[in-house]
Structure 1
Amino acid sequence: MAMSNSLRNKLIAAAGGGAMLIATVFLGGKDGVEGRVYEPYKDVAGVWTVCDGITGAGVVQGKHYTDRECDSLLWQRVRQVKAQVDPLVKVPLDEYQRAALYSFTYNVGTSAFSKSTLLKRLNAGDVDGACEELRRWIYAGGQKWRGLMNRRDMERTMCLAESADDLAGK
């Protein structure tokens, strides 16, 4: 599944705001890749989740979350992911590549990212090869998931984009 025109246009508009803003736009809200859900639910791996894929002790079962709460949780989590990812990356990256890594790590966790072949290839200078590694991360609960395939394709597109024109298909 290709990136929606609405999401693509929002990512292009966010380009000047840096990788955190791009990642937040990519992940959050009604057009975001995570898909905003206001009531906690168990995801495909059985983890309690709310808003834009937020997990952890802060997820309160039975609570209805507002857009403002979801936006705040998303921004806090992306900030945390940035603080964990940036020290692990030893090569220069553009904002779209960094945003793709933030999205990926937001989804799989810092531990998985830190041990990944993706990071090894990236730090060896094989950025394109690292971006291609995203497509391997399509399993949850031991099963291949179409939603993860779609997400990884979108992250890969963002990772390989050299400019906003690449996202726009120009």
Structure 2
Amino acid sequence: MQTSNNGINLIKQFEGIRLTAYQDSVGVWTIGYGHTGADVRSGLTISQNQAEQLLRTDLGRFETGVGQLVTVPLNQNQFDALVSFSYNLGLGNLKSSTLLRLLNNKDYNGAAGQFPLWDKAGGQVLAGLHKRRLAEQALFETAPATVAA
């Protein structure tokens, strides 16, 4: 599966865009739409097009990871919510989460209830993270629109 425009827009909304590298709330160098890695350092600047390309490249890694970790069927909205969650928190956190354990045991409602619990950075609840988790939870719980034949 690939992230839909709804999922990409959710990620963009909460990540925001910064074309100059900055340190996030826990000190990680970040640029574009939340891109991190060894290539991001103080003083780095990129263009809007480069930010879009970094996002697309990063999404591929998270889409693959979610696809490998989840063993039950997902609809597009559930997949998008999990990609957004992983994009923000990392695949390692998804892998070790109760959210994933419940989901892979086919407890979709229980898994949905786990999203709001992931609203801390550096041990502190952050309002922005809380809003993001609620938005991911709402997307996860939303049935995809059906198209009339």
One-letter code of the match for 1:71? Answer: E
For the 8 Å contact 1:20–1:79, the answer to whether it is kept is: no
Identify the residue that residue 19 of structure 1 maps to in structure 2.
Answer: 3
For the 8 Å contact 2:116–2:134, the answer to whether it is kept is: yes
One-letter code of the match for 1:24? Answer: I
Percent pairwise identity: 34
5 Å-filtered alignment, 1:8-157, equals 19-28=3-12, 32-157=13-138
* Aligned-partner Cα distance in 2 for 1:135–1:118: 10
Q: Displacement, 1:163?
A: 2.5
Q: Which digits, 9 at most, give the CA deviation of each residue in 1:41-70, with x for residues without a partner?
A: 111111111111111112132122111000
Q: Displacement, 1:22?
A: 3.3
Q: TM-score, normalised by structure 1?
A: 0.81
Q: Structure 2: which 5+ residue stretches go unaligned?
A: none
For the 8 Å contact 1:24–1:75, the answer to whether it is kept is: no
Q: TM-score, normalised by structure 2?
A: 0.92
Q: Displacement, 1:18?
A: 5.1
RMSD over aligned Cα, in angstroms?
1.6
Q: Displacement, 1:85?
A: 1.3
Q: Which digits, 9 at most, give the CA deviation of each residue in 1:64-101, with x for residues without a partner?
A: 21110000000000111111110110110100100000
Q: Displacement, 1:21?
A: 3.9
One-letter code of the match for 1:150? Answer: K
* Aligned-partner Cα distance in 2 for 1:116–1:92: 18
Regions of 4+ moved over 4 Å: none
Q: Structure 1: which 5+ residue stretches go unaligned?
A: 1-16, 166-170
Alignment: residue pair count: 146
* Aligned-partner Cα distance in 1 for 2:4–2:122: 28
For the 8 Å contact 1:135–1:149, the answer to whether it is kept is: yes
One-letter code of the match for 1:27? Answer: I
* Aligned-partner Cα distance in 2 for 1:54–1:18: 18
Alignment CA distance shift 1:113-1:63 (3 Å): same
